[in-house]
Amino acid sequence: MADKIFRVNMSDLSTTVEPVPAAWMGLGGRGLTSTVVATEVTPTCHPLGRHNKLVIAPGLLSGTQAANSGRLSCGAKSPLTGTIKEANAGGSSAQMLAKLGVKALIIEGKPHDESKWYSLHVTRDGVTISEESEVIGLGNFATVKTLNQRLGEKVGVITIGPAGEMRMSAANISIKDPDSHLRSGGRGGLGAVMGSKKVKFISIEPTNEQVQIADPEAFKTANRLFAKALVDNPISKALAQYGTNVLVNIINESGGLPTRNFTKGQFEGHEAISGETMHDTIVARGGKPKHNCHQGCVIQCSQVYNDLNGNYKTSGFEYETIWALGADCCIDNLDHLADADSLMDDIGLDSIETPVAFAVAMEAGVLKFGDGAELCRILKEDVAKGTPLGRIIGNGAASVGKAFGITRVPVVKGQAIPAYDPRAIKGIGITYATSTQGADHTMGYTIATNILGVGGKLDPLSKEGQVELSRNLQIATAAIDSTGMCLFIAFAALDDATCLPALIDMINARFGISLTADDVTNLGKTILKTEHGFNLAAGFTNKDDRLPEFFAEEPIAPHNVVWDISDAAIDSFWDF
């Protein structure tokens, strides 16, 4: 049975199952969410109003046996940035939705009576809307636990925490993983969009059905090659050993680890929070240094981090989170970081935006740099409960800067800059500036080439070549984000000649088509231009493609460099 568009109208509580329009047929993941948003959402609409739509789409390879194909894309106009937005995460839902024949789930409108909450249940036949009260106000963990009891352990769950219910701009969308823990579609406040629709959670019926593969043998062969390329890659191995947190020491060494609200490029406490220290701590406490966030992942960069007593504390304890809480907020204690990570997962908060917001609050004197206990207390007592301070922080770094009149606010288009200082690693600054979705390293991860020597080498301190590097990576990323693949396949794709052809072969075998590498590149370009077009229609201009002025004026130690790439060079990004 062909995939369908599952559509839910929360204004009149109606649902439909529709054929996939021809123009959307070859799209999946980000390519599809961005196309639907650009086609159906008024660019100037209020992100929390009835004209915005939340689009949830598995990727082109979701539901297949393809290695690392478990990412689910969520898209909408972002309440944080005002731009188009796609956030993707692992967990089980992408595979489950794909197996039910869901090409995309589109949630539109909003109830007139704002006092009621709803849930959606997805089966092969369509979506059922139910009024919901039991889990309203609950954190994500309790919500998943309750739903497991109500609907069975195998049910798929996409949910929002209290942050999403309160429509905070740093609210994420959380996706249940195989261990009934959570993976986060973190950036851009899409949880607030889901909350504005009054949908607390989406449950997905388990199925034994499989997605149809046009050429199963060719698929299997390609997948074998693909998976081998992934596991053989040295970066994959480092990720398996230390998680993404392998980067703390590497980026600190580069001088590009933003520290103390972006005033320094190295953190004195880096050893205490490094991937190496984390690995040893996990092993000593009987956790899992290696762990997958979705079935079929062969990299396994996740981990299970236990507390001092050997009890589960958190998983998916990422470099970005650890950097932001650690270096940026100067908290050199992994247990405080793990507490905060778990709290943010439970409240349903972007674990980049929120700690960067805390660092700005620390500069404003709301709490002290390094005070991890107070940070956790504010998460629990203020953010989770929606006090005024909690709302200021839960709306992100720009919100904190505005509230307290702070000018050193590391955001682009209102979204917090992640874990790489653009003064010391200039390629990533181009990505932050030009990304269609606000500052986001995953949009074009130049760290690969600037620091890790993947896909060639390019001096991070040089101005030359950074625009082209970011452009090429942003185009490739847009395409990868459409497949349902984890972005970490990019390391192998950049350096192993067998990887990308195998990926394309899998897509071709899945659908019985014959895409070329050029087709994939063109897909990436089209997605970027679609997203950019939406933003222009929403009122964005090249003036928004700029880093905050302090980057050009405050040299960062140890290299004592400023952001010095010209506006004209940045604007040339779009010359393709």
- If binding means CB under 8 A, how many residues of this protein chain bind a second copy? 38
Q: Angle at the Cα of 182 (from 177 to 186), degrees rounded to 5? A: 120
**Binding test (CB under 8 A) with a second copy, winner from 7, 200, 426, 546:** 546
Q: Does 309 bind a second copy (CB under 8 A)?
A: no
Listed in sequence order, the residues at least 6 apart from 101 whose beta carbon sits closer than 8 Å to its beta carbon are: 1, 2, 3, 4, 124
Residue placing its CB nearer to a second copy in the complex, 124 or 402? 402
- Which of these ranges, 97-105, 339-347, 348-356, 544-552, lies near a second copy under the rule CB under 8 A? 544-552
CA separation (Å) from 314 to 72, 82, 160, 305, 334?
21, 31, 18, 5, 11
Q: Does 407 bind a second copy (CB under 8 A)?
A: yes
Residue placing its CB nearer to a second copy in the complex, 50 or 529? 50
Residue placing its CB nearer to a second copy in the complex, 65 or 399? 399
Q: Closest Cα partner for 422 from 542, 570, 528?
A: 570
Q: Does 413 bind a second copy (CB under 8 A)?
A: no
Write down the least CB distance from residue 366 to a second copy, Å: 8
Residue placing its CB nearer to a second copy in the complex, 2 or 543? 543
**Ramachandran angles phi, psi of 538, nearest 5°:** -85, -5
Q: Does 555 bind a second copy (CB under 8 A)?
A: no
Q: Angle at the Cα of 180 (from 177 to 184), degrees rounded to 5? A: 45
Residue 79 preceded by cis peptide, ω within 30: no
Q: Does 528 bind a second copy (CB under 8 A)?
A: no
362-367 long-range contacts, Cβ below 8 Å, gap at least 24?
362/261, 362/329, 362/330, 363/261, 363/406, 363/408, 364/400, 364/403, 364/404, 364/405, 364/406, 365/404, 366/400, 366/404
Q: Does 46 bind a second copy (CB under 8 A)?
A: yes
Q: Does 564 bind a second copy (CB under 8 A)?
A: no
Residue placing its CB nearer to a second copy in the complex, 271 or 567? 567
One DSSP character per residue, 507-564 reads HHHHHT----HHHHHHHHHHHHHHHHHHHHHTT--GGGS---THHHHS-BTTTTB---
With beta carbons less than 8 A apart as the criterion, state whether 448 and 473 touch: yes
Q: Does 44 bind a second copy (CB under 8 A)?
A: yes
Indicate the helix (H) or strand (E) that contains 34. Answer: helix 29-40
Write down the least CB distance from residue 378 to a second copy, Å: 10
Residue placing its CB nearer to a second copy in the complex, 25 or 45? 45
Write down the least CB distance from residue 42 to a second copy, Å: 8
To 10 degrees, the CA torsion angle through 62, 68, 72, 73? -100
- Which of these ranges, 32-40, 151-159, 403-411, 458-466, lies near a second copy under the rule CB under 8 A? 403-411
Q: Closest Cα partner for 455 from 467, 446, 443, 464?
A: 446
**Binding test (CB under 8 A) with a second copy, winner from 36, 337, 357, 538:** 538
Quote the CA–CA distance of 173 and 329 in Å, as a whole number: 24
Q: Which residue has the tokens 């970027």?
A: 528
Residue placing its CB nearer to a second copy in the complex, 43 or 372? 43
Site string for a second copy, 164-183 (x = CB under 8 A): --xxxx--------------
Residue placing its CB nearer to a second copy in the complex, 115 or 309? 115
One-letter identity of residue 180: S
Residue placing its CB nearer to a second copy in the complex, 309 or 407? 407
Q: Does 192 bind a second copy (CB under 8 A)?
A: yes
Q: Does 405 bind a second copy (CB under 8 A)?
A: yes
Site string for a second copy, 107-146 (x = CB under 8 A): ----------------------------------------
Q: Does 404 bind a second copy (CB under 8 A)?
A: yes
Quote the CA–CA distance of 422 and 427 in Å, as a whole number: 7
Q: Provide the H-helix boundaries in 405-539.
A: 426-434, 447-450, 466-480, 489-495, 499-511, 517-537
Q: Closest Cα partner for 411 from 192, 556, 262?
A: 262
- Which of these ranges, 225-233, 301-309, 434-442, 539-547, lies near a second copy under the rule CB under 8 A? 539-547
Quote the CA–CA distance of 316 and 320 in Å, as a whole number: 11
- Which of these ranges, 208-216, 266-274, 424-432, 535-543, lies near a second copy under the rule CB under 8 A? 535-543
Q: Which residue has the tokens 């996706």?
A: 175
Quote the CA–CA distance of 177 and 154 in Å, as a whole number: 10
Write down the least CB distance from residue 546 to a second copy, Å: 7
Restricting to residues 69-98, which ones interact with a second copy according to CB under 8 A?
79
Q: Does 263 bind a second copy (CB under 8 A)?
A: no
Q: Does 365 bind a second copy (CB under 8 A)?
A: no
With beta carbons less than 8 A apart as the criterion, state whether 439 and 418 touch: yes
Q: Does 334 bind a second copy (CB under 8 A)?
A: no
- The DSSP bridge partners found for residue 415 are 412
Q: Does 543 bind a second copy (CB under 8 A)?
A: yes
**Binding test (CB under 8 A) with a second copy, winner from 216, 539, 555, 558:** 539
The span from the first CA to the last CA of the chain, in angstroms, equals 38
Residue placing its CB nearer to a second copy in the complex, 38 or 334? 38
- Which of these ranges, 38-46, 209-217, 367-375, 447-455, lies near a second copy under the rule CB under 8 A? 38-46
Site string for a second copy, 373-402 (x = CB under 8 A): --------------xxx-xx--x---x--x
Enter the tokens of residue 260.
Answer: 């103390």
With beta carbons less than 8 A apart as the criterion, state whether 483 and 59 touch: yes
Which residues lie near a second copy (CB under 8 A)? 43-46, 48-49, 51, 79, 166-169, 192, 195-196, 387-389, 391-392, 395, 399, 402-405, 407, 537-541, 543-544, 546, 548-550
